[in-house]
Amino acid sequence: MQVLELIIFAGLAAIVLYQLYSVLGRRVGRQPEDAPAVPAGPAGVRGDVAAAPLVDDGVALTGLAAVKSRDPSFEVGHFLGGAKGAYEMIVKAFAAGDRDQLRNLLSPGIYAGFDTAIAAREADNRTETVEFLNPPRADLEKAEVVGADLARVTVRFLAEFRSRTKGPEGEGVDDRRTAELWTFERNLKSRDPNWLLVHVAAAEA
């Protein structure tokens, strides 16, 4: 029985670490500036927004309109600026193993995965620092309201950063280019204005 439990645990750990590598260091073939042009609205909003079951004067509201109907103060440019700041903070905090900062920015499920990867790195006696070579690019990929009050906004990030690692075998420097989809979530009835990261996924460059 103990052997079976160890096999299951090892498999789950491998899945978590693979997902974290995919979204926090996946090399892609193109530079961020080479990403294909996408028809966009104001402030870089992409056109493919998800439907939300809201109605205003008999007209169904979808995507960004649904979010704004529940939160008139929502402004795309301001949100994307905050999302870029959160992206940089989370990537740097993950590299530094700063669990306190990550707890304030991640949902419990996402935090658990990050914590597992940090613990594995600590067990290997490795440290890492991250330096962004250029400001990340952020585009609004999708917006929706789930139910009456839960807003979800997915942002597509393109970024370049330099990772410096130190371990028992010595030091290493690795330049990475990433394309990622990060989904942020907020209860619009809450007085807390902060959005939490609830999902991460690799994206095409």
pLDDT tens-digit map of 116-131:
999 999 999 999 999 9
Angstrom distance (rounded) from CA 100 to CA 97? 9
First to last CA, the chain: 44
Closest alpha carbon to 42 in 90, 78, 1: 78
CA distances from 117 to 8, 111, 120, 122 (A): 17, 10, 5, 9
Mean pLDDT of 143-157: 95
Q: How many domains does the chain have?
A: 1
Give pLDDT, residue 89: 97
Examine the pLDDT at 60 and tell me if it is beyond 90.
no
- The CATH number of the domain holding residue 57 is 3.10.450.240
Q: Which domain holds residue 6?
A: 2-202
Mention every residue, 6+ apart, whose C-beta is less than 8 A from residue 159. 32, 87, 91, 132, 134, 136, 137, 177, 178, 180
Give pLDDT, residue 140: 97
Mean pLDDT of 169-192: 94
Closest alpha carbon to 197 in 131, 112, 136: 112
CA distances from 97 to 18, 52, 118 (A): 18, 37, 6
Alpha helix (H) residue ranges in 25-164: 63-70, 76-96, 99-105, 108-123
Query: In 10 A of CB 68, how many CB atoms?
Result: 17
Give pLDDT, residue 59: 52
Give pLDDT, residue 162: 96
Convert the pLDDT of each residue in 19-40 to its tens digit: 444 444 444 333 333 433 333 3
- With cut-offs at 50, 70 and 90, classify the pLDDT of residue 205: low
